[in-house]
């Protein structure tokens, strides 16, 4: 057997290649250290910028469940829902094959599970494949990451399922629990299904919570998020939040620093029938308490009211945020889509073209082919100031 | 936001070959947008650089303080970003702010040597025989981290970015502004020294467990 004089040198180089970029012959010592030290790795959390440091923004999470009557409703619904969910999951097919696109999973704490398999803290390359479910118990946390998407932290008592992981469409289902998402994929590519709404990332960080009764809460930290169900849309910019309920869909979004009375009034307004005294009374409170910043809320109320109520909302909205050129009272009262879009853009909370593009591209009847995407991009750039 | 959309779109079509160059141009564009007050762009920079900032801090300050300091670094960087003239220097600029923040932390508290000794004493206590197996791995992890922290500064920073934060050598170079050659040398020599330290520690640790 011939011995090469540079065998040792080659061996070092191969080992170095693994240390350098993970290629070449795996170095067992480096691998051991990687899996040991992963527990010190950075856990992505939302960046809290000064403008969002209002006192109300530091309230504990889980507002929905801390509201007394909601808690009672939730408790009643939990028993029924648990039975339905249990039946639903028991009828699902067994663990799918571990092939195809997958996301990286890291154990941040406790014993998260993929299907029935525990993920250990030393496991550096756990994968969640399309169709698989990741669950955390009361003392477990995990993170999901995908190079072209971003990172999603899964809090305790959560269950998520990976539905889709194509190059331009990535989709999770959050059945229950809380996720914190930091997304750098293009707007509209990452979608989370919940029992009561679909959350569409429009860039780039938010927390989404689903209670056992299927109701949900979304809080946006950076960028903005669209909440959608059966044609009912809510846009939630950084610093704002929105509640959603099964069958009803997304509620009216509001900034977290609104007064408690506006918050309470909006909650009742969203859950009572139109044209009742209670409904009108709450609307009066919302309008009287609204600040220019709450144009966010008033814009959404335009399409959630009718007749004299809509005129009332428009009057207050126009007083706080002057309508931009091209927007007329009559057009808004008739819910002219183009005028509503112009008025939204005047709030400077995000370009609504991104949302319209997502709507178009998510419609199976009009898939967005690459040429369409380029045209749309050019259109967006023309429209931007 | 439209500008960001353009950036995202151009990135989604990038090939692996051009990844490094496109990351640079994407970061440049994000920095320019953030300089003009686009907070979404700043948020994306945070998402892309927080691991690097975390790693640099972990190589200099106690683990328990790192998360808060990561936020501090970005809060310090935001108002200063407008004064950065060459956007391509953002990675090195942010790394410098991070190192300065770590130094500032020690000026207000204790010298690094004390910290290393303290963490070594606090975090490498002999494992409790009655504790579950996971605590053995934690003790091992703490011992490994302490061994890295005992290395010269440039080695420990690069090794932490590679072994803790899971970044590759090219990523470390792109994120910190160091050259590929410097990163490769730091990784190679740092790993050599780390093997020696861990080799020396292996026997006493095994004895302790028995």
What does the pLDDT read at residue A13?
Answer: 53
% of chain A at pLDDT higher than 90: 35
- B74 neighbourhood in chain A, CB within 8 Å: 47
Contact B47 A223 (CB under 8 A): no
Q: Single out the residue of A273, A1, A355, A3 nearest to residue B2, CA to CA.
A: A355
Closest residue, chain B, to A150 (C-alpha): B47
pLDDT at residue A289, rounded to an integer: 93
Is A19–B191 a contact, with Cβ atoms under 8 angstroms apart? yes
Q: What is the DSSP letter of A52?
A: G
What is the rounded CA–CA span in Å between residue A384 and residue B6?
11
| CA count, 13 A, side-chain hemisphere, B48 | 23
CA distance A227 to chain B (A): 18
Sequence spans of domains, chain B: 1-7+21-109, 111-210
How far apart, in whole angstroms, are the C-alpha atoms of residue A178 and residue A61? 10
What is d(CA A110, CA A267) in angstroms, rounded to the nearest whole number? 36
Determine the straight-line distance between the first and last CA of chain B, rounded to whole angstroms: 61
Cβ neighbours of B22 in A, within 8 Å: none
CB-nearest partner of A42 from B1, B78, B165: B165
Is there a contact between B141 and A34 if contact means CB atoms under 8 Å apart? no
Structural Rg of chain A based on CA atoms: 24
Q: What is the pLDDT of residues A286-328, one digit of tens each?
A: 999 999 999 999 999 999 999 999 999 999 999 999 999 999 9
pLDDT digit string (tens) for A3-41? 444 444 444 454 577 888 777 777 888 888 888 888 888
Token readout for A80 is 């029924």
In whole angstroms, give the CA distance from residue A366 to residue A311: 35
> Mean pLDDT, chain A, as a whole number?
78
| Residues paired with residue A128 on neighbouring β-strands, in sequence order | A103
B187 contacts in A (CB within 8 Å)?
A: 16, 19-20
Q: CB B47 to CB A381 under 8 A?
A: no
Task: List domains and CATH numbers for chain A.
Answer: 40-93+101-257 (2.60.120.1440), 273-348 (no CATH), 353-383 (no CATH)
Q: Where are the beta strands (DSSP E) in chain A?
A: 102-109, 113-114, 117-118, 126-129, 133-136, 141-146, 150-154, 158-165, 170-183, 190-193, 198-210, 216-229, 232-237, 240-245, 249-250, 254-255
CB contact under 8 A, B78 and A21: no
Measured between CA atoms, how close is A88 to chain B, in angstroms? Answer: 35
C-alpha to C-alpha distance for A139 and A275, rounded to whole angstroms: 46
pLDDT digit string, tens, across residues A167-212: 888 999 999 999 999 988 888 889 999 988 899 988 778 999 998 8
Please judge whether A49 and B39 are an interchain contact, meaning their C-beta atoms are less than 8 angstroms apart.
Answer: yes
Integer Cα distance of B26 and B120 in angstroms? 41
pTM over 0.80: no
Q: B111-210 adopts what CATH topology?
A: Arc Repressor Mutant, subunit A (1.10.10)
CB pairs under 8 A between A and B: 140
Over its C-alpha atoms, chain B yields an Rg (Å, rounded) of: 19
Q: Are residues A36 and B144, on separate chains, in Cβ contact within 8 Å?
A: yes
Is the Cβ pair A29, B195 closer than 8 Å? yes
Do B144 and A38 lie within an 8 Å CB cutoff?
Answer: no
Fold of B1-7+21-109: Rna Polymerase Sigma Factor; Chain: A (1.10.1740)
Interface test with A, best of B58, B151, B163, B202 (most A CBs within 10 A): B163
Which of residues B2 and A85 earns the better pLDDT score?
A85
Question: Helix (H, G, I), strand (E, B), or coil: what is residue B72?
Answer: helix
In the stretch 74-93 of chain B, residues with CB closer than 8 A to chain A read 74-75, 78
A137 closest CA partner among A159, A106, A153: A159
Lowest mean pLDDT among A75-89, A180-194, A367-381, B47-61: A367-381
Of these ranges, A18-32, A85-99, A366-380, the one predicted with the greatest mean pLDDT is: A18-32
Contacts of B173 in chain A (CB under 8 A): none
Out of B9, B44, B191, the one facing A184 most closely (by C-beta) is: B44
- Measured between CB atoms, does B177 come within 8 Å of chain A? no
Give the model's confidence band at B102: pLDDT under 50 very low, under 70 low, under 90 confident, else very high: very high
Structure tokens at B63: 């683990």
**pLDDT band of B163, cuts 50, 70, 90:** very high
Q: Do A47 and B46 touch (CB under 8 A)?
A: yes
User: What is the least distance, in Å, from the CA of B109 to any CA of chain A?
Assistant: 22
Mean pLDDT of B9-36: 56
DSSP A94: S
| Tokens of residue B4, six digits | 């960001």
Nearest CA in chain B to A168: B12
Q: Which residues of A283-309 are buried (b: 16+ CB within 10 A; e: fewer)?
A: bebbbebbeebbbbbbbbbbebbeeeb
In this model, does residue A54 exceed pLDDT 50?
no
**Touching check for B135 and chain A: CB below 8 Å?**
no
Least Cα distance to A171 among A128, A141, A126 occurs for: A128
pLDDT band at residue A364 under the 50/70/90 scheme: very low
Structure tokens at A237: 């910019």
What ipTM was assigned to the predicted interfaces of this complex?
0.77
pLDDT score at A96: 47
Distance from CA of A84 to the nearest CA of B (A): 36
Higher pLDDT, A292 or A213: A292
């Amino acid at each position: 057997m011939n011995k090469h004089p540079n065998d040792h040198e080659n061996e070092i180089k191969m080992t170095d290649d693994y240390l350098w970029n993970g290629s070449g012959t795996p170095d067992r010592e480096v691998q051991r250290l990687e899996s040991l030290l992963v527990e010190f790795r950075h856990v992505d959390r939302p960046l809290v910028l000064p403008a969002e440091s209002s006192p109300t923004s530091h309230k504990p999470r889980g507002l929905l469940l801390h509201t007394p009557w909601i808690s009672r409703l939730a408790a009643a619904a939990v028993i029924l829902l648990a039975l339905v969910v249990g039946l639903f999951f028991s009828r699902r097919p067994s663990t799918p094959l571990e092939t195809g696109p997958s996301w990286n999973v890291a154990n941040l704490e406790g014993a998260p599970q993929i299907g029935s398999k525990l993920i250990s803290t030393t496991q550096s390359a756990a994968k969640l494949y399309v169709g698989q479910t990741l669950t955390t118990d009361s003392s477990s946390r995990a993170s999901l990451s995908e190079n072209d998407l971003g990172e999603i932290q899964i809090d305790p008592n959560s269950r998520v399922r990976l539905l889709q992981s194509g190059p331009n469409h990535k989709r999770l289902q959050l059945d229950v629990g809380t996720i914190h998402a930091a997304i750098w994929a293009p707007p509209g590519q990452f979608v989370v299904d919940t029992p009561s709404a679909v959350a569409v990332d429009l860039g780039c960080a938010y927390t989404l919570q689903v209670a056992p009764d299927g109701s949900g809460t979304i809080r946006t930290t950076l960028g903005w998020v669209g909440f959608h169900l059966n044609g009912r849309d809510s846009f939630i910019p950084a610093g704002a939040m929105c509640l959603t309920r099964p069958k009803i869909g997304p509620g009216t979004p509001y900034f977290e620093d609104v007064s408690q009375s506006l918050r309470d009034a909006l909650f009742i307004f969203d859950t009572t029938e139109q044209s009742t005294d209670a409904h009108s009374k709450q609307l009066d409170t919302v309008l009287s308490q609204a600040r220019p910043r709450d144009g966010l809320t008033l814009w959404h109320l335009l399409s959630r009211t009718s007749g004299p109520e809509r005129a009332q909302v428009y009057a207050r909205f126009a007083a706080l945020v002057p309508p931009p050129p091209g927007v007329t009272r009559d057009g808004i009262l008739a819910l002219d889509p183009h005028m509503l879009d112009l008025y939204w853009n005047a709030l400077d909370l995000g370009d609504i073209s991104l949302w319209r593009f997502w709507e178009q591209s998510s419609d199976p009847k009009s898939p967005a082919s690459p040429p369409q995407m380029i045209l749309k991009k050019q259109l967006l750039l023309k429209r931007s100031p | 936001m439209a500008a960001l959309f353009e950036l995202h779109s151009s990135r989604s079509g990038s090939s692996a070959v051009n990844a490094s160059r496109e990351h640079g141009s994407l970061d440049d564009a994000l920095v320019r947008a953030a300089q003009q007050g686009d907070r979404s762009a700043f948020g994306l920079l945070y998402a892309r650089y927080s691991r690097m900032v975390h790693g640099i801090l972990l190589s200099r300050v106690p683990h328990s303080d790192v998360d808060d300091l990561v936020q501090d670094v970005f809060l310090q960087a935001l108002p200063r970003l407008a004064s950065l003239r060459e956007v391509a220097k953002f990675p090195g600029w942010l790394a410098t702010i991070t190192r300065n923040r770590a130094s500032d932390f020690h000026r207000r508290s204790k010298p690094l040597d004390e910290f290393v000794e303290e963490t070594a004493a606090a975090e490498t206590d002999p494992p409790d025989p009655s504790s579950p197996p996971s605590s053995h791995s934690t003790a091992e992890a703490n011992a490994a981290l302490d061994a890295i922290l005992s290395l010269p500064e440039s080695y420990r920073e690069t090794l932490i970015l590679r072994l803790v934060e899971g970044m590759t050598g090219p990523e470390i170079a792109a994120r910190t502004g160091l050259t590929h050659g410097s990163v490769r040398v730091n990784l190679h020599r740092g790993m050599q020294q780390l093997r020696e330290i861990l080799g020396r520690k292996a026997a006493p640790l095994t004895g302790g467990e028995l």
